[in-house]
A and B are shown apart, each in its own frame.
Chain A
Amino acid sequence: MIQQITVFLENKSGRLSSLCAALGEAGIDMQALTIADTADYGVVRIICAEPERAAEVLRAADYRVNITRVTAIAVDNQPGGLAKLLAKLDDMNVNIEYGYCFSYKGEKAIDVLKIRDADVAEVAIKAAGYKLLDPADL
């Protein structure tokens, strides 16, 4: 189970760099960052080593921060790796809200998914033979 932090930002120049500077100054190391954008605002999703401290630092600087639980799953780093996982999740009627994925030269790729009813889904995913990643694994 991974604690992702979500930050609300106005779609204005400089906001993203201010956010990253705030985290940098607080010594927070980010492992992943993705942005869902609309014309007016962006929702920035960040995985980092100390999500609770990061949230505190950002709230003190008046950012609106949520901590959201997401599931990180390791899949084989090869064509079809993600497709297989998603097919399995469909079979299990697992509802995916959004996701982002990354691979980097290793054997395994990491798929981060926000799943509805994650408790139940994670048990089923593990039972299907997948490895769920903890913060320590990232």
Chain B
Amino acid sequence: MRKANDMGKQHEILHMPHEQIEQIQLEGLKKTVVNVYENVPFYKNLFDEAGFDPYAVQTLADLQKAPFTTKQDLRDNYPYSMFAVPMKDVREIHMSSGTTGIATVGGYTEHDIDIWSDCFARGIEYADGGEDDICHVCYGYGLFTGGLGAHYGCMKAGCTTIPMSAGNTERQIRILREMGSTILCCTPSYAMHIADTAISMGIDPAKEFHLRAGIHGAEAFSDHFRAELERKLNYKVLDVYGLTETMGPGVAIECMEQTGLHLAEDHFIAEIIDPATGEVLPDGEWGELVITTTDREATPVIRYRTRDITRIIPGECACGRTHRRIDRLHGRTDDMLIIRGVNVFPSQIEDVMKTFPQVSSWYQIELTRQGALDAVTLKVEPEQGFDFDEISAITAVQKQIQDKLKSALSIGIKVKIVEPMSIPRSEGKAKRVIDNRF
């Protein structure tokens, strides 16, 4: 449990001058590159082939000489070839939710679990939380890092933790009402599903739940989606980022300023690269996030390509904490769709949709092949307040959305208004794109 002197130590770390953080990063980097070179054959080969000398690292900039690690590398080394410690030291295993092919495995020593707990616990501290909070954890518990990561973090922060896992939404709602949960930890789409189900049961979660904050992640969600959650559940939403390959949730978490997610820079070095060339980009520019762990023991990674698109937000956060922030995610390099030769991110479509109050936040994009060309249909649901009594009102909104999309994306997307609740809801990550072209 977190004790008084731990609180002081956390505070000191979170407000440390950045030069000191960089010192910690450099120490950790030097140890880690040597550790993986000596203990993980994959890394010995990788470094040798790239001509990278782990013993010659003197500055943080030397990291740029190191080769990247990709998801495929982790898959190729399934199950245990990326492990830098003997199995007897591995306390826990998690695996990523691989959509195609082999999942990737992450291992945790006692120390790794400690770091993970500390990192997620920062989210509770950012939410001004602690031992007086009741944390309602309904990320899935199991191989997925969401449930246990949040659980360890909430415990470390001294909260009362209710391990709900995902599912049985009516019971979630009963407990949120009756047990006084104050902080909700789950995916943003599940939070919305809980809110909407409560509302359809005649319950007003804004009044009848006791939430003051939510720590939501595992999938990207727009500012519009966040605003709707905050309105329906009457709480503040903090975005949390993480991935199994580098630890799990807690690599970066938003503070109450909601102007970016603070990286845990004492445990991770973040770089932003141009996904096409691998070139490191300056702070402020959007690109692919690359993570290097500096004190992870069981499965350390060097320059892991996350395929997530974000940027380092330049400048200092108003909250006073000195760890730099990444921006809310803009999609993934592999979320990107190529439609009739044009790069399209689902987030671009969301940005257009959020300007139309007549349709709700749930949507789905369906891609089909019509002859030689790609056809895209965007399915949207009418919102409760939308006056659709006249057909002309419906076609007008459809056309307005179509026109705005054409102007934003340069391709024509057919908009189809479908019945509410006909787009599948999710308890985990929402499936926004159905690609039936191939």
Q: Is A123 an interface residue (CB 8 A)?
A: no
Contacts of B421 in A (CB 8 A): 62
Q: Closest residue to A97 on the B side, CB-wise?
A: B390
Contacts of B382 in A (CB 8 A): 8, 64
Interface size on A, residues (CB 8 A): 21
* Beta-carbon contact of B200 and A62 below 8 Å: yes
* Beta-carbon contact of B384 and A64 below 8 Å: yes
Q: Is A84 an interface residue (CB 8 A)?
A: no
* Beta-carbon contact of A66 and B387 below 8 Å: yes
The 8 Å CB contact of B420, one of A15, A63, A68, A98, is A63
Q: Whole-angstrom distance between the alpha carbons of A62 and B197 in the complex?
A: 10
Q: Is B416 an interface residue (CB 8 A)?
A: yes
* Beta-carbon contact of A41 and B417 below 8 Å: yes
* Beta-carbon contact of B419 and A8 below 8 Å: yes
Contacts of B87 in A (CB 8 A): none
Q: Closest residue to B384 on the A side, CB-wise?
A: A64
Q: Whole-angstrom distance between the alpha carbons of A97 and B390 in the complex?
A: 8
Given the known A-B contacts A41-B394, A43-B394, A60-B200, are A68 and B389 also in contact in the complex, defined by CB atoms under 8 Å?
Answer: yes
Measured CB to CB, the closest approach of chain A to B227, in angstroms, equals 21
Contacts of A41 in B (CB 8 A): 394, 417-418
* Beta-carbon contact of A114 and B389 below 8 Å: yes
Given the known A-B contacts A60-B200, A64-B382, A66-B388, are A10 and B422 also in contact in the complex, defined by CB atoms under 8 Å?
Answer: yes
Q: Is B1 an interface residue (CB 8 A)?
A: no
Given the known A-B contacts A9-B419, A60-B200, A63-B419, are A38 and B391 also in contact in the complex, defined by CB atoms under 8 Å?
Answer: yes
Contacts of A114 in B (CB 8 A): 389-390
Q: Is B386 an interface residue (CB 8 A)?
A: yes
Taken residue by residue from 369 to 387, chain B's Cβ proximity to chain A (1 for < 8 Å, 0 otherwise) reads as 0000000000001101011
Given the known A-B contacts A8-B382, A40-B416, A41-B417, are A64 and B391 also in contact in the complex, defined by CB atoms under 8 Å?
Answer: no
Q: Is A36 an interface residue (CB 8 A)?
A: yes
Within 8 A of B (CB), among A11-65: 15, 36, 38, 40-41, 43, 45, 59-60, 62-64
Contacts of B394 in A (CB 8 A): 41, 43
Q: Is A6 an interface residue (CB 8 A)?
A: yes
Q: Whole-angstrom distance between the alpha carbons of A6 and B391 in the complex?
A: 11
Contacts of B422 in A (CB 8 A): 10
Contacts of A66 in B (CB 8 A): 386-389
* Beta-carbon contact of B390 and A15 below 8 Å: no
Contacts of B391 in A (CB 8 A): 36, 38, 43
Measured CB to CB, the closest approach of chain B to A119, in angstroms, equals 17
Q: Closest residue to B417 on the A side, CB-wise?
A: A41
* Beta-carbon contact of A64 and B418 below 8 Å: no
Contacts of B381 in A (CB 8 A): 64
Measured CB to CB, the closest approach of chain A to B86, in angstroms, equals 54
Measured CB to CB, the closest approach of chain B to A68, in angstroms, equals 4
* Beta-carbon contact of B389 and A43 below 8 Å: yes
Contacts of B200 in A (CB 8 A): 60, 62
Contacts of A98 in B (CB 8 A): 390
Q: Whole-angstrom distance between the alpha carbons of A40 and B226 in the complex?
A: 30
* Beta-carbon contact of A10 and B418 below 8 Å: yes
Q: Whole-angstrom distance between the alpha carbons of A6 and B388 in the complex?
A: 8
* Beta-carbon contact of A6 and B420 below 8 Å: no
Contacts of A15 in B (CB 8 A): 419
Within 8 A of B (CB), among A65-95: 66, 68
Supply 7 A–B pairs (Cβ within 8 Å), ascending by A: A36-B391, A62-B200, A64-B382, A64-B388, A97-B390, A114-B389, A114-B390
Which B residues are within 8 Å of any A CB, using their own CB? 200, 202, 381-382, 384, 386-391, 394-395, 416-422
Which A residues are within 8 Å of any B CB, using their own CB? 6, 8-10, 15, 36, 38, 40-41, 43, 45, 59-60, 62-64, 66, 68, 97-98, 114
The 8 closest A-B pairs by CB, nearest first: A6-B389, A62-B421, A68-B389, A10-B419, A64-B382, A66-B389, A62-B420, A36-B391
